[in-house]
Structure 1
């Protein structure tokens, strides 16, 4: 409990978690409003071509696509900032069990991120529906399992991403390197496998973030996964735990 209290004080008394939270809220609700407005304009304007069908996954894409990336940055900074300013040495002197420090950081930020994204998921749904109007939001419902999974899957995904970010930050220890890897990994690195033709198509279903996206929106791609959405969640969770476990081993073996 003392470790949890100490980590809570660190998180609540610094400015970066506050600003990251504000950015997440703006991205979530702002993207939902834009998607709702685009869907409404597509009904009456011939200039809007190729507008995506407005459903729950599209309405909440501001969180799952952008907001959680900011959440990962916040989680990584919670570790790398201590290494940058040298306070991690004091932390490990006060708490010799280094694993408990990393678990406390991941648990607190993960719980906060899960609650925040869960509330924003419903908020994004409501904003998109209001902006789109009755006719343009006919596909924006919570009538199927996929629709509900796009809502409650986001906090689960957010929690796992925080654990991953804390693990990556603990391994790399530098803010720039950790943030670059966490952003480029889902945005660029995994996308590059699509350039390798049939070989890339066979590898992509085994990539972690591809499985996370399959869990959130199983009908959103043409990839042939070897398991269903829940299998993808288990696969992504196992990958996250491996990275986090490796970070604990590395932190215990090297000097602070």
Structure 2
């Protein structure tokens, strides 16, 4: 005799596709009001520093003597004011914190347990986070760097010293400033995944992104070599103009672009691998 089971066995739940994980992480990002506040306030501060510098030049242009006016463009000052060091520091710190909070926020609230319960493939979850962080911050960096260049050069053009994007070195300044955002955000994401505590992660992010580049200077060869491996020093090298004074230990723009790529890839790899080796 054969018997018919009262209940049919439940169908196995299909494994989550990576694009679904990316979509889920994107929903997390855009559903938080703090996301728009963080990105908006960062954009305002960065633009304020750059536009303020350009406007200061515009306002006090008449006080400069004729020789200084003549070499203003030749020395690359318009490109320096398109995205200055203060604006770069603000963006580095802010984007590093935003990247860290992408994962630390879930650990602090405990929602990461729900995520890992729904998707046991932890490495896939962190890889999806890294993709979303890289994509969003790249778009953000491009918008801010492009807007900053356009606004500052429009102001300087009022004195006849603004330059176009086709000016030698201008596109490199915009790209270097834009890509600084995802590099720092991925670094923060990696530190947050490893440390998992908000305060400690923020301190570590400041140390790695800002303090270490200041510690390793060009005073000694070994110190210069270590310093050249930092994103901030790479950005400074990329935004240098052709007529910048030579340094004791020069390096190439290709090396600076390599630093960007290595930091982004290493940070992503660290975030993906570390979450698989530790318990929640």
- The two structures share one fold, judged by TM-score above 0.5: yes
Displacement of 1:81 in angstroms is: 0.6
Matched, 1:229 2:247: no
The count of aligned residue pairs is 251
Aligned structure 1 segments of 4 or more residues deviating by more than 6 angstroms = none
Q: Classify the secondary structure of the residue corresponding to 1:194.
A: coil
Distance in structure 1 (CA, Å) of the matches to 2:80 and 2:123: 36
C-alpha contact (below 8 Å) 1:35/1:54 kept by paired residues: no
Q: 2:211 aligns with which of 149, 168, 188?
A: 188
Displacement of 1:113 in angstroms is: 1.6
Matched, 1:71 2:115: no
Matched, 1:21 2:44: no
Q: 2:179 aligns with which of 120, 134, 156?
A: 156
Displacement of 1:58 in angstroms is: 2.6
Distance in structure 2 (CA, Å) of the matches to 1:12 and 1:181: 26
Q: 1:97 aligns with which of 117, 121, 126?
A: 121
Change (3 A) 1:36 1:75: same
Deviations 1:28-81 (A, max 9, x none): 3212220111112342247xxxx9964234322365332243122111101001
Q: Classify the secondary structure of the residue corresponding to 1:96.
A: coil
Structure 2 residues without counterparts, runs of 5 or longer: 1-18, 65-71
Distance in structure 1 (CA, Å) of the matches to 2:145 and 2:218: 33
Deviations 1:116-157 (A, max 9, x none): 22122221122212333432x615443344211111233333
Displacement of 1:214 in angstroms is: 1.9
C-alpha contact (below 8 Å) 2:95/2:185 kept by paired residues: yes
Matched, 1:32 2:50: yes
RMSD: 2.8
Q: TM-score by structure 2 length?
A: 0.78
Distance in structure 2 (CA, Å) of the matches to 1:163 and 1:57: 26
Match in the other structure for 1:130: 154
Change (3 A) 1:58 1:184: farther
Distance in structure 2 (CA, Å) of the matches to 1:174 and 1:223: 40
Match in the other structure for 1:214: 237
C-alpha contact (below 8 Å) 2:78/2:156 kept by paired residues: no
Q: TM-score by structure 1 length?
A: 0.84
Distance in structure 2 (CA, Å) of the matches to 1:223 and 1:168: 33
Query: Once structures 1 and 2 are overlaid, which stretch shifts more, 34-43 or 190-199?
Result: 190-199
Distance in structure 2 (CA, Å) of the matches to 1:16 and 1:67: 17
Higher helix share: 1
Displacement of 1:199 in angstroms is: 4.5
Match in the other structure for 1:165: 188
